Chain A
């Protein structure tokens, strides 16, 4: 922008501002309503989605496959999809640093006076492309699967029962890992010794029906699992009943 364009902008802006309304109470009212909505969404998320407890840190595990929080998934996905291992530095540091520098310096290399997005095609399409790429990478990163896992040998009786039984057993393994059961129970070498009872051989002590009953109506502070999708619920019951 040259001096004339700057002055033209300031003049136009001065007129628009003089035609506007005072910040208090007009803008404040909108901001306040928005603040109420934000807090309501946070409260609703806390009540509906809640928080989970993972298993306690075991620094000796080396098989754990970690996942970042969702807003770092796009970086994680770049790293995961990297075809050439030599380029790790480029993916982890190079691309994010370049993006940060480009963001910081945006007003200094985009100096045109035009502000309407449809008249700034390069800027608008670059932004849409970057947003699309980040969305794509985030979704792909999320599909990499859950980081929760349960290390437990599949019993030979399940393997003998056929591939359908093994699939159900694996589904139960995943559902249990995702539900954070190891936060309070020990299953084989996984999980914590309390406050819940050990589940390593629970199938020998309680029949499948009893396990299902306990999952629906557990002893405090264990949460009820009756709202789980039926398929997941059955898989959990099957998994636990096979632990003998």
Chain B
């Protein structure tokens, strides 16, 4: 039987439309899922106020003209994440002991562990990719003049990240503990020792003593997997905060449109 049209009553007399989930019968699975999600988000947000921060980070605008060159910074960060993840897996098998089998544990990783050579290769070549990307990112920043006001501090943090990345390369080179890495590190530490004022103290600190000894390798390992990665992660956080706060630059060639609404001049 065809349904008759509803009588033309004033809207104030109509009953309100059903709220989601109250439409007479049981709520649909989609409505239930949405309600569950909302209650979880509300629960977290009531205790942390995180949604404001997420909205601030994710829904900020990037200026007109942003192009592929602007992905180099996040690409460097992904290379760092790759190093962190593959590094954790390598640390599960590596023994930082010169007498007790640092070299043998690397051989075990390379020859015997399931996908060991593959993960070690990803860590080794990931370092190369990260260094290349960080230099490209710096070149983009330099040529676009993006280090200028108001982003001077972010440039300084970026240079610190570059130097820490090089420190990672230097300390990681010793860990396979073959002839090549050992002698290169001996020379590198000796070069550090020729520096003025802090040079001798720095090389003594790196060697854990006046000579290359039993503790040198574990010291390099601790610097390589705890000290410097922690510093890099913290500085990436500060770098990203400033990027979001100050906004990414537009390419220097991009010009704003002459919009009369946005360009109010005093008459």
A30-B68 contact given A108-B152, A120-B145, CB 8 Å threshold: yes
B43 at the interface (CB under 8 A from A): no
What residues on A are CB-neighbors of B122 within 8 Å? 42-43, 46
Our pick among A9, A54, A114 for the contact of B181 (Cβ within 8 Å) is A54
Q: Bound state CA distance, A33 and B74, in angstroms?
A: 11
- Judge whether B178 and A55 touch: CB under 8 Å: yes
Q: Which of A57-65, A154-162, A167-175 contacts B (4 or more CB under 8 A)?
A: A57-65
- Judge whether B62 and A19 touch: CB under 8 Å: no
What residues on A are CB-neighbors of B127 within 8 Å? 69
What residues on A are CB-neighbors of B124 within 8 Å? 46, 51
A88 at the interface (CB under 8 A from B): yes
Q: Bound state CA distance, A68 and B119, in angstroms?
A: 22
Q: Bound state CA distance, A28 and B159, in angstroms?
A: 25
- Judge whether B148 and A46 touch: CB under 8 Å: no
Q: Mark B115-155, 1 if CB is under 8 A from A, else 0.
A: 00111111011111101010000010011111111111001
B201 at the interface (CB under 8 A from A): no
A53 at the interface (CB under 8 A from B): yes
- Judge whether B71 and A23 touch: CB under 8 Å: no
What residues on B are CB-neighbors of A92 within 8 Å? 191, 194-195
A71-B166 contact given A23-B60, A54-B178, CB 8 Å threshold: yes
Q: Mark B24-68, 1 if CB is under 8 A from A, else 0.
A: 000000000000000000000000000000000111111111101
* Interface residues of chain B: helix, strand, loop or mixed (majority): helix
Q: Bound state CA distance, A148 and B181, in angstroms?
A: 11
Q: Which of B2-10, B169-177, B228-236 contacts A (4 or more CB under 8 A)?
A: B169-177
Q: Bound state CA distance, A39 and B81, in angstroms?
A: 10
Q: Bound state CA distance, A106 and B110, in angstroms?
A: 43
Which residue of chain A has its CB nearest to the CB of B72?
A: A34
Query: How far is the CB of A127 from the nearest CB of chain B, in Å?
Result: 6
Our pick among A1, A15, A57, A124 for the contact of B148 (Cβ within 8 Å) is A1
Our pick among B74, B152, B187, B247 for the contact of A31 (Cβ within 8 Å) is B74
Q: Bound state CA distance, A70 and B106, in angstroms?
A: 21
B186 at the interface (CB under 8 A from A): yes
What residues on B are CB-neighbors of A114 within 8 Å? 145
A16 at the interface (CB under 8 A from B): yes
A115-B145 contact given A24-B58, A93-B191, CB 8 Å threshold: yes
B199 at the interface (CB under 8 A from A): yes
Q: Bound state CA distance, A55 and B177, in angstroms?
A: 9
A-B contact count (CB 8 A): 233
Q: Bound state CA distance, A41 and B82, in angstroms?
A: 12
Interface footprint category on B: 35 or more
B156 at the interface (CB under 8 A from A): yes
- Judge whether B194 and A53 touch: CB under 8 Å: no
Q: Which of B13-21, B219-227, B256-264 contacts A (4 or more CB under 8 A)?
A: B256-264
A59-B182 contact given A46-B118, A93-B195, A117-B143, CB 8 Å threshold: yes
Q: Bound state CA distance, A139 and B252, in angstroms?
A: 33
Q: A6-B149, A69-B184 are in contact. List 12 more A-B contacts (CB 8 A).
A: A13-B63, A17-B63, A27-B62, A38-B75, A53-B176, A54-B180, A59-B182, A71-B166, A89-B194, A93-B194, A114-B145, A116-B252
Pick 29 A–B contacts, CB within 8 A, sort by A.
Answer: A17-B250, A19-B63, A22-B59, A27-B66, A27-B70, A30-B70, A38-B78, A42-B82, A45-B125, A45-B128, A51-B121, A55-B178, A68-B173, A68-B187, A68-B188, A71-B131, A72-B169, A72-B188, A89-B194, A100-B159, A103-B162, A104-B159, A111-B148, A115-B144, A115-B148, A117-B143, A127-B142, A147-B184, A148-B180
Using a CB–CB cutoff of 8 Å, the interface residues on chain B facing chain A are 57-66, 68, 70-72, 74-75, 78-79, 82, 98, 103, 106-107, 110-111, 117-122, 124-129, 131, 133, 139, 142-152, 155-156, 159, 162-163, 166, 169-170, 173, 176-184, 186-188, 191, 194-196, 199, 212, 247, 249-250, 252-254, 256-257, 259, 262-263
